[in-house]
């Protein structure tokens, strides 16, 4: 297991290089002078020239890249032009919100999705199973914002259990904080539930056909146990893959849901930063998101090996 | 009678394992035998004995690590690509699994005429006629030409494989477990067919199997392989009646024979890995 | 006299003179087609019977229906009496109580019939858990005992491995260990030696025989290999086209076969020291074996099993063939 983990981490390094190089080139490949772009339309030629020297834009590309690497590693990512604060301060603040809601919605999606998907496949010839399959199809077809709006309508406006929007930080009280994130988490989570349930259904159907399921039956093992221990264990590989994919999209944040609920998350931040040409911030967000996704994929790879030890290098018994 | 094939000290070594931890496996260790023209040489052994590797070496699907192979007096141990291409017209191979050895998307006619297309032989009209003749030879109806492999049973597919192997009029056919996947009754038919073809066309066979009874039926000489070595060799009578080596004796005694009364206990073979 | 009731609440036949397994007129159908029909044979206690046939003969389906493992699209009808309990028509919940604890099944291909990720110990443990209430320590001890019973000495190491790490012969032994783990009375083995080398085949056959002696098992062996039948089984039922065409004691079947198919099957096998130049082939009414079963049942020739001597039954046509 250790050597497998080591190999995966090694494989990480070239992958990390890619967003770094892309981000580096991003600014320099954009039409126009990078320094002028950074300072915006109002800058004087002297200011531009000054920034150019400061950023080392007249140096050879390799030197610039090394400087860039150095900056990234020491977390000198510049300041946000519009928020007038260091990028490394801004991002964690907004990321915390997104990540919290993201993780919660992932849990919701996995729990509900796997349950629904298992029912759809294991009980596919019963009413319950068919209903589960149908729900899955409906869920995939409904867009996120519709979930969000319906939830708000029913639970916030109608039942008054939750606020219509707005984010309450943890510091203002545990319960109010939780109340403010439940609806957005469900808005995100329900959409993904359908996706997870479809994948689970497919994965379980595949495994159900395998001969070793018949062997388990021949031993008199009850069906519910076969389903849980023998089948789901193997299906979880595919589910794990999906979870990895979902994490990636959840980390980037959903600008839609965050806008509807008025949450200060990464999605909205990125949207605003791009609209306002806040290059330093955009650069920081891209780097951050890229890195987190790579780490998540590494975790998924390692979890594969835990769930299905065949993934590692095989050993033979003599 | 001259030898159509002479194999001398044939060796094949494989390297396996992950890139930083390679191990060498000697699949075939210094094997030597001859096949007389028009006769059948049977190679028998269990899995891991290297017999399939020998089949692939003789038909040049892989290259020998060392040793010589002489075909009809010519040394074919090392060949250029062009020479190998020509070699295929002399030596053909048929495989064990009739279900995966035939391209499911091609019709039987396409499968059988493909060798001529590749070697640029015969006009399309000639190809059609020759294909019909081949079908006759292997005992398949002419209507089979338009059908795809999926509509045939295992035994029929094996016949298609044989027809295809015969297309280039080879002198030597290598059969790598050609009847092992077939039912007893179908096996009998295919064995009869192979025998008839040999009588009609003077073909030579290198017949490989783990089933000693089947090998013995078709072969004139037999070689026994164990873990890469050719441990014993001889005419089929001498192998069966007078086995010299320990392994050969074990192999023979392990075969359950039908004449043995039901409660007779066979000598126990110790587990070997 | 009331029959005693065992721990699973099922009645047990104590007199011991009835055959353990009695199959009568068993049919397995899919719509208008009979995959298996009119299968009749008996298996006495501690005896062994072979179901012999080539592919498409219906022998595997027969075995599956005895074990209750038929695919849902197939229907079984007729009678399967196991220890005086009628199995046909029973819901899975009832059959499940017998599965493993009274009827064990060895599957043909251990590589795909064993779970790829659970360890050997976990898999055997699952079987034990289904019928017994052992503590963890007891279970582990039982698993080690089972493994050594089937000739696997490094019990600890093997119990912790997965089947991908074992050789073919070891996998088959694990399969056998699982099948006997709950001490069944009847062991059904579906082509247990087909995927193995000759020397391994011998070992597996010997293992099955020694287990039979030690545990008093009855063995139903599914095979196409008449040599194995000669070696292992007291009696045999030859199947062709989904029907039993002949059944008799092994010696009698092999030395004086009565049905044309049996005779042809025996003649078609090359034997060591065979002097024949060509092997006789089987002339069949249908060109390929499976085709017979693709004929709707009302169009198949009417036949029945006729008792031609003490325990020798042969399938013969009934008078005129109905079309």
Question: Is residue A217 a part of any domain in this protein?
Answer: yes
Q: What does each C-alpha distance from C45 to A274, A289, C21, C189 come to in angstroms?
A: 82, 70, 8, 16
Are C249 and C41 spatial neighbours (Cβ–Cβ below 8 Å)? Answer: no
Q: Which helix (H) or strand (E) holds C168?
A: helix C168-180
Q: A-C interface: how many C-beta pairs under 8 angstroms? A: 93
- On whether any CB of chain C is under 8 Å from the CB of A308, the answer is yes
Report how far residue C176's alpha carbon sits from residue C150's, in angstroms, rounded to the nearest whole number. Answer: 7
Label residue C319 by pLDDT band (50, 70, 90).
low
A229, C126: Cβ pair inside 8 Å? yes
How confident is the model at residue C320, as a pLDDT? Answer: 42
Q: What does each C-alpha distance from C240 to B152, B185, C142, C261 come to in angstroms?
A: 19, 12, 41, 8
The SS3 call for residue C59 is: helix
Please check whether residues A116 and A188 belong to one and the same domain: yes
CATH of the domain at A199: 1.10.3720.10
- Say how many CA atoms lie within 13 Å of B70 toward its Cβ: 15
The chain B residue lying nearest C206, using CA atoms, is: B268
Please check whether residues A242 and A109 belong to one and the same domain: yes
* More reliable by pLDDT, A126 or C321: A126
State pTM to two decimals.
0.79
Label residue C294 by pLDDT band (50, 70, 90).
low
Report how far residue C190's alpha carbon sits from residue C221's, in angstroms, rounded to the nearest whole number. Answer: 6
Q: Which residues of C touch A317 (CB under 8 A)?
A: 154, 157-158, 161, 165-167, 170
Question: Is residue A293 a part of any domain in this protein?
Answer: no
C69, A310: Cβ pair inside 8 Å? no
Label residue C290 by pLDDT band (50, 70, 90).
very low
Identify from B97, B246, B262, B270 which residue to disrupt to test chain C contact, counting C C-beta atoms within 10 A and taking the largest count. Answer: B262
User: Quick one: angle between helices A211-218 and C168-180, nearest 10?
Assistant: 30
CB atoms within 10 A of CB B148: 15
CB atoms within 10 A of CB A169: 13
Contacts of C77 (CB under 8 A, 6+ apart): C26, C27, C29, C88
- On whether any CB of chain A is under 8 Å from the CB of C166, the answer is yes
Contacts of B176 (CB under 8 A, 6+ apart): B52, B55, B56, B93, B94, B95, B96, B208
Please check whether residues A142 and A251 belong to one and the same domain: yes
In angstroms, the separation between the Cα of residue A226 and the nearest Cα of chain C is 9
Whether C13 has a pLDDT exceeding 60, the answer reads no
Contacts of B177 (CB under 8 A, 6+ apart): B52, B95, B96, B208, B209, B210
C178, A317: Cβ pair inside 8 Å? no
Are B230 and B33 spatial neighbours (Cβ–Cβ below 8 Å)? Answer: yes
Q: What share of chain C is helix, strand, coil (3-state, %, to 5)?
A: 35, 25, 40
- On whether any CB of chain B is under 8 Å from the CB of C256, the answer is no
Q: Find where tokens 């000198």 sit.
A: A76
Contacts of C187 (CB under 8 A, 6+ apart): C103, C104, C105, C106, C179, C180, C208, C211, C212, C217, C218, C219, C220
Restricting to A residues 203-232, those with a Cβ less than 8 Å away from any Cβ of C are 210-212, 214-222, 225, 229-230
Q: Out of C203, C233, C276, name the one closest to residue B271 (CB).
A: C203
Show the tokens assigned to C304.
Answer: 């029945």
Are C220 and C209 spatial neighbours (Cβ–Cβ below 8 Å)? Answer: no
What does R_g of chain A's alpha carbons equal in angstroms? 24
Question: Is residue A140 a part of any domain in this protein?
Answer: yes
Show the tokens assigned to C222.
Answer: 């599914």
Please check whether residues A231 and A130 belong to one and the same domain: yes
C206, B250: Cβ pair inside 8 Å? no
- Say how many CA atoms lie within 13 Å of A247 toward its Cβ: 19
In angstroms, the separation between the Cα of residue B161 and the nearest Cα of chain C is 19
**Partners of chain C (3+ Cβ pairs below 8 A):** A, B
Domain hosting residue A21, numbered range: 2-73
A215, C104: Cβ pair inside 8 Å? no
In angstroms, the separation between the Cα of residue C147 and the nearest Cα of chain A is 15
- β-bridge pairing C235-240 and C85-86: unpaired
Restricting to C residues 65-104, those with a Cβ less than 8 Å away from any Cβ of B are none
- From the list B212, B115, B129, B222, the residue with the least C-alpha distance to B164 is B115
- From the list A94, A61, A38, the residue with the least C-alpha distance to A283 is A38
Label residue C11 by pLDDT band (50, 70, 90).
very low
Please check whether residues A233 and A266 belong to one and the same domain: yes
Please check whether residues A69 and A119 belong to one and the same domain: no
How confident is the model at residue C188, as a pLDDT? Answer: 96
Are A305 and A240 spatial neighbours (Cβ–Cβ below 8 Å)? Answer: no
- On whether any CB of chain A is under 8 Å from the CB of C161, the answer is yes
B203-261 tens-digit pLDDT:
999 999 988 888 988 999 999 999 999 999 999 888 888 888 989 988 888 777 776 44
End-to-end CA distance of chain A: 20
Question: Is residue A294 a part of any domain in this protein?
Answer: no
Report how far residue C305's alpha carbon sits from residue C308's, in angstroms, rounded to the nearest whole number. Answer: 9
User: Is the Cα torsion angle B88, B89, B90, B92 positive or negative in sign?
Assistant: positive
The side-by-side arrangement of strands in the sheet containing C33-43 is C33-43, C21-30, C75-82, C85-86
Q: B-C interface: how many C-beta pairs under 8 angstroms? A: 125
In angstroms, the separation between the Cα of residue A97 and the nearest Cα of chain C is 38
C78-98 tens-digit pLDDT:
999 999 899 998 988 889 989
Q: Out of B191, B214, B266, name the one closest to residue C202 (CB).
A: B266
The SS3 call for residue C100 is: coil
SS3 per-residue string spanning B128-177: HHHHHHHHHHHCCCHHHHHCCHHHCCHHHHHHHHHHHHHCCCCCEEEEEC
Whether C186 has a pLDDT exceeding 80, the answer reads yes
**Partners of chain A (3+ Cβ pairs below 8 A):** C
Please check whether residues A178 and A266 belong to one and the same domain: yes
DSSP state at residue C299: G
B4-25 tens-digit pLDDT:
999 999 999 988 766 666 778 8
Q: Out of C99, C112, C166, name the one closest to residue A219 (CB).
A: C99
Q: Out of B184, B191, B273, name the one closest to residue C54 (CB).
A: B184
Please check whether residues A140 and A226 belong to one and the same domain: yes
Report how far residue B171's alpha carbon sits from residue B90's, in angstroms, rounded to the nearest whole number. Answer: 5
Q: Which residues of A touch C131 (CB under 8 A)?
A: 220
The chain C residue lying nearest B219, using CA atoms, is: C277
Q: Which residues of C touch A314 (CB under 8 A)?
A: 164-165
- On whether any CB of chain A is under 8 Å from the CB of C63, the answer is no
Helices (H) and strands (E) in chain B, counts: 9, 10
Are A183 and A217 spatial neighbours (Cβ–Cβ below 8 Å)? Answer: no
Question: Is residue A128 a part of any domain in this protein?
Answer: yes
In angstroms, the separation between the Cα of residue B219 and the nearest Cα of chain C is 11
Are A157 and A183 spatial neighbours (Cβ–Cβ below 8 Å)? Answer: no
How confident is the model at residue A149, as a pLDDT? Answer: 83
Question: Is residue A9 a part of any domain in this protein?
Answer: yes
C230, B262: Cβ pair inside 8 Å? yes
Please check whether residues A131 and A34 belong to one and the same domain: no
- Say how many CA atoms lie within 13 Å of A168 toward its Cβ: 16
Please check whether residues A48 and A97 belong to one and the same domain: no
In angstroms, the separation between the Cα of residue C141 and the nearest Cα of chain B is 25
The chain C residue lying nearest B213, using CA atoms, is: C272
C165, A214: Cβ pair inside 8 Å? no
Report how far residue A34's alpha carbon sits from residue A49's, in angstroms, rounded to the nearest whole number. Answer: 11
How do the pLDDT tens digits run along chain A, 318 residues long?
777 788 888 888 888 888 888 888 877 776 767 677 667 677 788 877 777 777 667 777 788 888 888 888 887 777 777 777 888 888 888 888 888 888 899 999 999 999 888 888 887 778 888 888 888 788 888 887 788 888 888 887 777 777 777 777 777 777 888 888 888 888 888 888 888 988 898 899 888 888 999 999 999 999 889 888 888 888 888 888 888 888 887 876 678 888 888 888 888 888 888 888 787 888 888 888 888 888 888 888 888 888 877 776 544 444
- Say how many CA atoms lie within 13 Å of A139 toward its Cβ: 25
DSSP state at residue B114: H
Q: Which residues of A touch C177 (CB under 8 A)?
A: none
Q: What does each C-alpha distance from C221 to C60, C148, C194, C224, C264 come to in angstroms?
A: 10, 23, 12, 10, 21
Q: Which residues of C touch A220 (CB under 8 A)?
A: 96-101, 127, 130-131, 182
CB atoms within 10 A of CB B120: 6
Q: Which residues of C touch A309 (CB under 8 A)?
A: 117, 162
C69, A218: Cβ pair inside 8 Å? yes
Please check whether residues A67 and A137 belong to one and the same domain: no
Question: Is residue A318 a part of any domain in this protein?
Answer: no
C279, B183: Cβ pair inside 8 Å? no
B26-70 tens-digit pLDDT:
899 999 999 999 999 999 988 888 999 999 999 999 999 999 999
How confident is the model at residue C322, as a pLDDT? Answer: 36
- On whether any CB of chain B is under 8 Å from the CB of C57, the answer is no
Label residue B125 by pLDDT band (50, 70, 90).
very high
Please check whether residues A233 and A128 belong to one and the same domain: yes
**Count of domains in chain A?**
2
Q: What does each C-alpha distance from C147 to C136, C144, C187 come to in angstroms?
A: 17, 5, 17
DSSP state at residue C1: -
Q: Which residues of B touch C199 (CB under 8 A)?
A: 46, 250-251, 254, 269, 272
In angstroms, the separation between the Cα of residue B246 and the nearest Cα of chain C is 13
- β-bridge pairing C235-240 and C48-52: parallel
In angstroms, the separation between the Cα of residue C98 and the nearest Cα of chain B is 30
In angstroms, the separation between the Cα of residue B216 and the nearest Cα of chain C is 7
Contacts of A158 (CB under 8 A, 6+ apart): none
- From the list C191, C51, C139, C197, the residue with the least C-alpha distance to C208 is C191
How confident is the model at residue A194, as a pLDDT? Answer: 86
Question: Is residue A40 a part of any domain in this protein?
Answer: yes
How confident is the model at residue B12, as a pLDDT? Answer: 93
The side-by-side arrangement of strands in the sheet containing B172-176 is B91-94, B172-176, B204-209, B40-44, B221-226, B229-235
Residues in chain A: 318
């Amino acid at each position: 297991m250790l050597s497998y983990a080591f190999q995966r981490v090694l494989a990480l390094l070239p992958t990390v290089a890619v967003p770094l190089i892309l981000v580096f080139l991003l600014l320099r490949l954009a039409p126009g002078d990078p320094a002028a772009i950074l300072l915006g339309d109002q800058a004087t030629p002297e200011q531009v020239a000054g920034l150019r020297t400061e950023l080392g834009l007249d140096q050879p590309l390799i030197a610039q890249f090394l400087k860039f690497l150095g900056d990234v590693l020491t977390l000198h990512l510049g300041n946000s032009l519009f928020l007038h604060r260091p990028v490394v301060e801004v991002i964690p603040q907004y990321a915390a919100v997104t990540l919290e809601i993201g993780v919660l919605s992932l849990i919701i999606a996995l729990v509900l999705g796997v349950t629904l998907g298992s029912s759809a496949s294991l009980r596919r010839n019963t009413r319950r199973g068919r209903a589960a399959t149908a729900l899955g199809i409906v869920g995939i077809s409904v867009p996120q914002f519709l979930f969000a709006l319906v939830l708000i309508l029913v639970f916030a406006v109608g039942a008054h259990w939750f606020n219509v929007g707005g984010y309450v930080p943890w510091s203002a009280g545990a319960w109010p904080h939780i109340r403010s994130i439940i609806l957005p988490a469900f808005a995100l989570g329900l959409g993904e539930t359908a996706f997870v349930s479809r994948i689970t259904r497919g994965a379980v159907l595949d495994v159900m056909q395998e001969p070793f399921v018949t062997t388990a039956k021949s031993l008199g093992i009850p069906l519910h146990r076969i389903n849980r221990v023998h089948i789901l264990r193997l299906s979880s590989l595919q589910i794990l893959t999906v979870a990895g994919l979902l994490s990636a999209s959840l980390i980037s944040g959903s600008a839609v849901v965050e806008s509807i609920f008025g949450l200060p998350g990464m999605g909205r931040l990125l949207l605003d930063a791009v609209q306002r040409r806040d290059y330093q911030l955009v650069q920081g967000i891209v780097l951050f998101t890229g890195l987190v996704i790579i780490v998540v994929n590494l975790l998924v790879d390692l979890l594969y090996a835990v769930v299905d030890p065949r993934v590692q290098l095989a050993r033979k018994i003599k | 009678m001259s030898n159509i094939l002479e194999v001398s000290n044939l060796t094949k070594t494989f390297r396996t394992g992950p890139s930083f931890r390679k191990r060498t496996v000697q699949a075939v260790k210094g094997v030597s035998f001859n096949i007389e023209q028009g006769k059948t040489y049977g190679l028998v052994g269990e899995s891991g004995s290297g017999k399939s590797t020998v089949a692939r070496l003789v038909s040049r699907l892989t290259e020998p690590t060392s040793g010589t192979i002489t075909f009809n007096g010519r040394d074919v141990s090392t060949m250029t690509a062009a020479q190998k291409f020509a070699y295929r017209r002399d030596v053909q191979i048929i495989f064990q699994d009739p279900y995966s050895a035939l391209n499911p998307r091609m019709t039987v006619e396409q499968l059988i005429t493909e060798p001529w297309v590749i070697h640029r032989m015969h006009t399309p009209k000639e190809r059609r006629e020759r294909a019909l003749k081949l079908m006759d030879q292997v005992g398949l109806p002419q209507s089979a030409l338009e059908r795809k492999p999926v509509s045939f049973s295992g035994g029929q597919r094996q016949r298609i494989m044989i027809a295809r192997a015969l297309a280039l009029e080879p002198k030597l056919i290598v059969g790598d477990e050609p009847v092992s996947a077939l039912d007893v009754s179908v096996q009998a038919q295919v064995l009869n067919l192979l025998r008839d073809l040999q009588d009609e066309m003077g073909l030579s066979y290198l017949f490989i199997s783990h089933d000693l009874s089947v090998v013995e039926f078709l072969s004139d000489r037999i070689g026994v392989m164990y873990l890469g070595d050719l441990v014993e060799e001889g005419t089929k009578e001498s192998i069966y009646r007078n086995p010299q080596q320990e392994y050969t004796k074990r192999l023979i005694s392990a075969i359950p024979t039908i004449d043995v009364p039901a409660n007779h206990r066979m000598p126990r073979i110790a587990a070997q890995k | 006299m009331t029959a005693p009731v065992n721990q699973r609440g099922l009645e047990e036949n104590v007199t011991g003179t009835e055959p353990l397994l009695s199959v009568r007129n068993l049919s397995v159908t899919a719509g208008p087609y009979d995959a298996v029909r009119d299968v009749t044979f008996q298996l006495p206690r501690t005896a062994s019977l072979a179901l012999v046939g080539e592919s498409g003969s219906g022998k595997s389906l027969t075995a599956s229906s005895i074990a209750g493992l038929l695919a849902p699209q197939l229907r079984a009808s007729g009678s399967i009496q196991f220890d005086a309990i009628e199995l046909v028509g029973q819901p899975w919940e009832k059959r499940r109580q017998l599965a493993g604890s009274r009827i064990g099944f060895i599957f043909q291909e251990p590589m795909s019939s064993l779970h790829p990720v659970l360890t050997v110990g976990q898999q055997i443990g699952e079987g034990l858990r289904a019928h017994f209430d052992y503590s963890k320590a007891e279970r582990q001890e039982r698993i080690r005992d089972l493994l050594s019973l089937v000739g696997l000495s490094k019990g600890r190491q093997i119990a912790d491995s997965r089947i991908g790490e074992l050789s073919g012969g070891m996998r088959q032994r694990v399969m056998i260990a699982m099948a006997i783990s709950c001490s069944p009375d009847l062991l059904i083995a579906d082509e247990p030696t087909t995927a193995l080398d000759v020397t391994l085949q011998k070992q597996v056959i010997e293992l099955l025989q020694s287990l039979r002696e030690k545990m008093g098992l009855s063995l139903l062996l599914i095979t196409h290999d008449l040599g194995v039948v000669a070696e292992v089984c007291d009696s045999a039922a030859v199947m062709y086209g989904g029907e039993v065409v002949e059944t008799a004691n092994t010696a009698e079947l092999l030395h004086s076969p009565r049905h044309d198919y049996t005779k042809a099957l025996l003649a078609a096998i090359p034997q060591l020291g065979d002097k024949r130049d060509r092997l006789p082939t089987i002339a069949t009414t249908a060109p390929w074996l499976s085709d017979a079963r693709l004929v709707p049942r009302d169009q198949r020739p009417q036949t029945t099993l006729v008792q031609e001597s003490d325990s020798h039954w042969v399938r013969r046509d009934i008078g005129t063939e109905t079309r």
